[in-house]
Structure 1
Amino acid sequence: MTEPPDHPRPVSPSWWPPAPGADTADPIPAGRGRPPLPVDEILTEAFALLSEGGIEGLGMRALARRLGSSTSTLYRQFPGGKDELCARLAEQVMTEIVDEIANADLGEDWAEIVERSATISFDVLRRRPHSAALFADQVHFGPMGVVRYEVSLQLLLAAGLSPTEAAAADHALARLIVGYALQSPQVASPSRYTVSEFYGRLDPDEFPSVTTVLPALPEDLRAEFLFALRTFMAGLRLLAADTADVPDGSP
């Protein structure tokens, strides 16, 4: 069953940006019930809930309690409920990413720009605990998400990648960033230590390769991400170089 054209699903392409009042200083008129709340205040407290309890702990009822308001008031301002709230949070995170990239010294080489932009994106997601979950199972169609996508594709296409390769490279890179950012530091460090302890108990004669790499196991998640990113970019550079070497008209 398709949705009525005047009621697009929250976070779908046709939903942005018309949700009235959800991203403005003047919220939707409340009518009966409690007065509407400033949207900035709602999003600030929603980020706090997200940081404390992850995406599972971010609910309209819990948010209303935190704000000293009611769920009906929140639903008047965010008719799409949690989906709409998460979309607005994702757009704010994406705005922070785009702003930081715009103000950073990224160099001039296309690959260097892509790599540094990816690092900034990862760092922003890590600074906002659990915010990566906002992008884990949903393409972000917000205005800043589209801006980021356009700039990324411009770089990749200018490097000589085909449209298919450019789109696939951007999507793979986004999944690399989000996948690593999803691993919270509270989980990653104890887990890594436990794995090191486990491998340290193995018989080195039976598992000589494991024993060899044991002292080199990366303890820092960011260092692991940067290694994965550099490896990805090395392959992308080779792909761009191979594409540039193919004469026009060649298969």
Structure 2
Amino acid sequence: MSTLNLIPQDAFTLRPAAERGHVNMGWLRSAHSFSFGSYFDRSHMHFESLRVINDDYIEGGKGFGEHPHQNAEIFSYVLQGALAHKDSMGNGSTVKAGGIQYMSAGAGVRHSEFNPSATDETRLLQIWLLPYEDGGQPRYETLDLTKEDKDGKLKLFLSKDGRHGSIQMKANADVYAANLDGDQSVQFEISDGHKAWVQVAVGEVEVNGMHLQQGDGLAIPTDGLLEFTNGKEADFVFFDFEAEPFN
């Protein structure tokens, strides 16, 4: 265990699940951690390069028709059901629960996403990061994360350099997923000049003793030591951001 002191809770900023922007379109129920679409909140535009966290529930057989993107690093973390994807690059795939669907929009791409089941609901976190450079060729990849990959540990699945089998992306961040339950614990040291964000997808977990529940986000604007403990069937995403000019 590290001998560093834990970052004090008063350095954190909690983004409570209940205070997110909520949208109900019938076929789609969504909660937005940051301003998106019809939800606008000047005090919650982004955190570092993290621009969008949408917690989406998609009705069976429904989805997002073909639409354009550019200059965004986009990934979906599928939590329940499955997500089917088609794009103007010719890609077509279906990602099931536990899987990651990643797209670098580059100079421009069109795609569609839908729930391939006629009856079962799909749940996912759709997340956008701002790229460190605009333009370039769009790119699409998928990655399956097993329970063993994330059990009691942080599993790197997106990174700037593609290390440890992660998907390489054009954003100044490392992105991890973890499952924590019972007496499992994980520590992470945030490097000098870096910042971090925790997004709880499922269950409950404590970060340096602060209790987080499903849907909560936590902004960590300083370096130091984090300890994740007291998970209750927790599934969360952790972002480690390099220092960059996003304020």
On whether the aligned pair clears a TM of 0.5, the verdict is no
Structure having the larger proportion of residues in helix: 1
Structure having the larger proportion of residues in strand: 2
Task: Look at both structures and tell me which one has the larger radius of gyration over its CA atoms.
Answer: 1
